[in-house]
C-alpha cells in the first residue's frame, strides 16, 4: 500500500496535509457568530445556530485525520456580561447540541470533556454534560474539550488554591512543584499543550483562553467568521501549521 497517499489529506489548492505531522492538540476560539448574523440582517442568535454546523464539520475532520485533542472555546466567564437573552439562547443551543450529538460522538469514539467551572451553568445543562461525559468516557479516538464558563486566569487560580491546600496537608512539597506537576492541576490534566491555536473573525487577541497551555503554541488568525469556517479553512490552517518552523527557543 502506498503510505504516502494514505497519510495525506487533500487541502486547498491541491496541497496536502501530512497526516504523520498533525498537531496533537488543536484549540479554536470560535468567534464572529454575531457579525455573521448582522451581515445577513439576522438576530445574533442565528449566528450561534449557524456556528454549530462548523463545530460538527471541524470535529469530524479532526477525528478523521487523527488529531488527538480538539478544544473549542464555547463560552467564557466574560460572556455572562452579554444580554441575558443571548446567554439563555447559547445555553439552550449547547443543551440541544449535547442531546443531538451523543450518537455521533459514540460512533466516532470521541470523548467529551469540559474545561471550566460547570457549576455556574444551568442545572439542566450540567446534567446533560455529565451524562455525555459519562457516556463517552470510554472513547479513545479523540478528546473533544468544550471550554464552558472558562477563564484562563480562573483556571490558574483554582490550580494555585488546590496546590496550596495539598501543600498544607503535606501531600505536596515545594521542591516537587515543577511545570509538569503544576499542569496536573489544570483542566487539561494529562493532555498535551495545544500545538495550534486558531482564532476566527479577524480579532487578534487571546481573550483569556488557555493562558498557561499556549506558551509555545502556533497561532493561526483568520478573518473568516466562525459560521463560514468549514473543511477547506481547517485544512488551510493545518497546512499553514505544517509550514511553520517550531524552534522552542533553540
Ligand atoms: C462567538 O461569536 C461565540 C461566542 C462568544 C459565544 P460572537 O458572539 O462573539 O460573535 P461576534 O464576535 O460578536 O461577531
Ligand atoms: C471569545 O470570544 C470567547 C469565545 C469564543 C467563547 P469573545 O467574542 O467573547 O471575545 P472578545 O470579547 O472579542 O475578546
Ligand atoms: Mg466575539
Count of helices and strands (H, E) across the chain: 8, 8
What is the rounded end-to-end Cα distance, in angstroms, of the chain?
37
pTM (2 decimals)? 0.96
User: Quick check: CB of 9 below 6 Å from ligand 1?
Assistant: no
- Average pLDDT taken over every residue of the chain: 96
What CATH number belongs to 24-151+193-239?
3.40.1180.10
User: Quick check: CB of 222 below 6 Å from ligand 1?
Assistant: no
CA distance 180 to 38: 44
Q: How far is the CA of 79 from the centre of ligand 1 (A)?
A: 9
User: Quick check: CB of 34 below 6 Å from ligand 1?
Assistant: yes
* Closest-lying ligand 2 atom to the alpha carbon of residue 78: 9
List the residue whose alpha carbon is closest to atom 3 of ligand 1: 31
The series of mean pLDDT values per 10 residues for the chain, 250 residues long, is 59 82 98 98 98 98 98 98 98 97 97 98 98 98 98 98 98 98 98 98 98 98 98 98 97
Residues 162-204 have pLDDT tens digits of 999 999 999 999 999 999 999 999 999 999 999 999 999 999 9
List the residue whose alpha carbon is closest to atom 11 of ligand 2: 207
Tell me what percent of the chain is helix, strand and coil, each rounded to the nearest 5. 50, 15, 35
CA distance 212 to 188: 10
Amino acid at each position: 500500500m502506498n503510505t504516502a497517499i494514505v497519510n495525506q489529506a487533500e487541502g486547498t489548492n491541491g496541497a496536502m496535509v501530512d497526516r504523520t505531522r498533525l498537531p496533537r492538540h488543536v484549540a479554536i476560539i470560535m468567534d464572529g457568530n454575531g457579525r455573521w448574523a448582522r451581515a445577513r440582517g439576522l438576530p445574533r442568535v442565528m449566528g450561534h445556530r449557524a456556528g454549530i454546523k462548523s463545530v460538527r464539520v471541524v470535529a469530524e475532520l479532526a477525528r478523521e485525520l487523527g488529531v488527538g485533542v480538539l478544544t473549542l472555546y464555547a463560552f467564557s466567564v466574560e460572556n455572562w456580561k452579554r444580554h441575558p437573552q443571548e446567554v439563555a439562547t447559547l445555553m439552550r443551543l449547547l443543551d440541544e447540541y449535547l442531546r443531538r450529538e451523543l450518537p455521533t460522538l459514540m460512533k466516532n469514539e470521541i470523548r467529551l470533556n469540559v474545561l471550566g467551572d460547570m457549576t455556574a451553568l444551568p442545572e439542566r445543562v450540567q446534567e446533560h454534560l455529565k451524562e455525555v461525559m459519562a457516556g463517552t468516557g470510554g472513547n479513545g479516538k479523540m478528546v473533544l474539550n468544550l471550554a464552558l464558563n472558562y477563564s484562563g486566569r480562573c483556571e490558574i487560580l483554582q490550580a494555585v488554591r488546590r496546590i496550596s491546600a495539598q501543600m498544607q496537608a503535606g501531600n505536596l512539597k515545594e521542591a516537587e512543584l515543577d511545570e509538569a506537576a503544576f499542569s496536573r492541576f489544570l483542566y487539561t490534566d494529562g493532555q498535551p499543550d495545544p500545538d495550534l491555536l486558531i482564532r476566527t473573525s479577524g480579532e487578534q487577541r487571546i481573550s483569556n483562553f488557555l493562558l498557561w497551555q499556549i506558551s509555545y503554541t502556533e497561532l493561526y488568525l483568520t478573518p473568516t467568521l466562525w459560521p463560514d469556517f468549514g473543511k477547506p479553512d481547517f485544512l488551510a490552517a493545518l497546512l499553514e501549521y505544517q509550514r511553520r518552523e517550531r524552534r522552542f527557543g533553540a
